[in-house]
Amino acid sequence: MNEATSVLGKPRVQAEEVQALQDTIYVIGGKWRLPIINSICNGNKRFREIERSIPGITTRMLSKELREMELNKLVKRTVHPGPPVLVEYESTPYCKTFGSIILEMIRWGKEHRDKLREE
Amino acid sequence: MNEATSVLGKPRVQAEEVQALQDTIYVIGGKWRLPIINSICNGNKRFREIERSIPGITTRMLSKELREMELNKLVKRTVHPGPPVLVEYESTPYCKTFGSIILEMIRWGKEHRDKLREE
DNA sequence: CCGTATCCACGCTGATACTG
DNA sequence: CAGTATCAGCGTGGATACGG
């Protein structure tokens, strides 16, 4: 894969990378975070709209994730007083930093569609 | 906001991508799969070696993951009869297809190191 | 050294129902 | 439409002990 499998100083670098990898996994932890980010980045704004765009998610999980994501500045929540009351979720610049990860994962998923059917 | 958020043909494409994304998340599900793949792709072969290279993992979790990963052709397990008995884990071509995802996640983790400290 | 087995606690998840 | 409440189950994780 790379130029050197056993060069001095490598373990140190590896440790850093492992840490970075585990940090990232922690942040996007769970099954729903990335699909939600993807949905919002694709322009979905309303709660039910987001919900419908993600197969399998339940109201409770979406609600929980959205709440936590708002706290972490991953989404912006705006309430337009009604009636009828209207709530909008928007992606933040921080949210968009996940773009390349999501893209890579979509690419992987498409490429391995057939393999997955077998499992 | 009105109805016209969806562009021609977009929903269909989105649905495919959401599915691909969720497939990928399913395959790499959990906190340990990717770090283990990364460790083995980095040349770690022995059980304890892999274990030590992943902060926080327990013997039980590593054992469980490795067993399942062998079934899914993600790793190749070889026993060199001893004594002492020697077991080696090696990455498969399939395993290596996760490379770009892992790289992207490491990159993300490094870039957001500071932000993470705050949380 | 290389794991497997068991017990136990806890949090995440899902299903369902209900409110404003 | 936009959520919250409640209950139950299971997977994950830690501790510990044991076997090859």
Alpha-carbon span B42 to A119, nearest angstrom: 27
Q: Which of A7-11, A111-115, B54-58, B88-92 has the lowest mean pLDDT?
A: A7-11
* Closest Cβ–Cβ partner in A21, A46, A106 for B20: A106
Residue B117 has pLDDT above 70, yes or no: no
Q: Integer distance in angstroms from CA A22 to C1' C1?
A: 27
In a domain, A3, yes or no: no
In a domain, A2, yes or no: no
Asked if the Cβ of residue A31 lies within 7 A of any atom of strand C, the reply is yes
Residue A89 pairs in a beta bridge with A77
Domain that holds residue A24: 14-118
Q: How do residues A53-111 score in pLDDT, each as one tens digit?
A: 999 999 999 999 999 999 999 999 999 876 778 899 999 999 999 999 999 999 999 99
Asked if the Cβ of residue A81 lies within 7 A of any atom of strand C, the reply is no
Residue A9 has pLDDT above 60, yes or no: no
Alpha-carbon span B46 to B40, nearest angstrom: 9
Q: Which residue has the higher pLDDT, B28 or B2?
A: B28
Nearest protein residue, CA measured to C1' of C14: A58
Indicate which of B2, B25, B97 best probes the interface with A, i.e. most A CBs within 10 Å of its own CB. B25
* Closest Cβ–Cβ partner in A17, A31, A34 for B106: A17
Looking at the structure of chain B, the number of domains it has is 1
Chain centroid to Cα A88, Å, comes to 18
In a domain, B3, yes or no: no
Identify the CA nearest to A20 among candidates B89, B27, B114: B114
Q: CATH number of the domain that B54 lies in?
A: 1.10.10.10
Alpha-carbon span A62 to A77, nearest angstrom: 14
Asked if the Cβ of residue B71 lies within 7 A of any atom of strand C, the reply is no
**Distance from the B77 Cα atom to the nearest Cα atom in chain A, whole angstroms:** 20
Q: Integer distance in angstroms from CA B30 to C1' D10?
A: 15
Give me the pLDDT at residue A4, please: 37
Residue B76 pairs in a beta bridge with B90
Question: CA separation (Å) from B76 to A24, A81, B88?
Answer: 27, 59, 8
Give me the pLDDT at residue B82, please: 65
Residue B96 has pLDDT above 50, yes or no: yes
Identity of residue A56? G
State chain B's mean pLDDT as an integer: 86
- Give pTM, 2 decimals: 0.89
Give me the pLDDT at residue B10, please: 65
Give me the pLDDT at residue A6, please: 43
In a domain, A83, yes or no: yes
Beta-carbon count within 10 A of A21 CB:
24
In a domain, B96, yes or no: yes
Question: CA separation (Å) from A82 to A67, A79, A85, A86, B105?
Answer: 21, 9, 4, 7, 41
In a domain, B57, yes or no: yes
Residue A49 has pLDDT above 90, yes or no: yes
Q: What is the dihedral of CA B17, B36, A1, A30, to 10 degrees?
A: 20
Average pLDDT of the segment spanning A9-32: 85
Give me the pLDDT at residue B14, please: 81
In a domain, B106, yes or no: yes
Residue B5 has pLDDT above 50, yes or no: no
Give me the pLDDT at residue B90, please: 94
Confidence of residue A23 (pLDDT cuts 50, 70, 90): very high
Average pLDDT of the segment spanning A19-32: 92
Give me the pLDDT at residue A3, please: 34
In a domain, B5, yes or no: no
Alpha-carbon span A26 to B92, nearest angstrom: 26
Confidence of residue A40 (pLDDT cuts 50, 70, 90): very high
